[in-house]
Structure 1
């Protein structure tokens, strides 16, 4: 549970830093994501999921 909360905190810190440093580009990126078809978002999400699991597996292996 500690690892999960640490990972969640790291994600929030990185996303917060991006919004703080680049608010305009982040807003445009979110608008562009909103106009994408669901299948494209689903494929991108699955790719991110697989890459994340592989990365954790390699690091924690």
Structure 2
């Protein structure tokens, strides 16, 4: 559970860096996401999950 809370904290730090450091980029990415088809967003999300699991597995295993 402690690792999960730490992971959530790191996600918030990374998102905060994007929004706080590059607000124009964050706004541009958000507007581009609205024009993307759902299948592309779904594939990107599933790919990110797979890469994240692989990184955690390699780091912790």
TM-score grouping bracket, smaller chain normalisation: over 0.9
**Aligned with 2:18: secondary structure?**
helix
- Residues 1-61 of structure 1: matches in 2 within 5 Å? 1-61=1-61
**Aligned with 1:7: secondary structure?**
helix
C-alpha RMSD of matched pairs (Å):
0.6
- Gaps in structure 1 of 5+ consecutive residues: none
Which 4+ residue blocks in structure 1 deviate beyond 4 angstroms?
none
How far apart, CA to CA, are the structure 1 residues paired with 2:35 and 2:3? Answer: 34
TM-score by length of 2: 0.96
TM-score by length of 1: 0.96
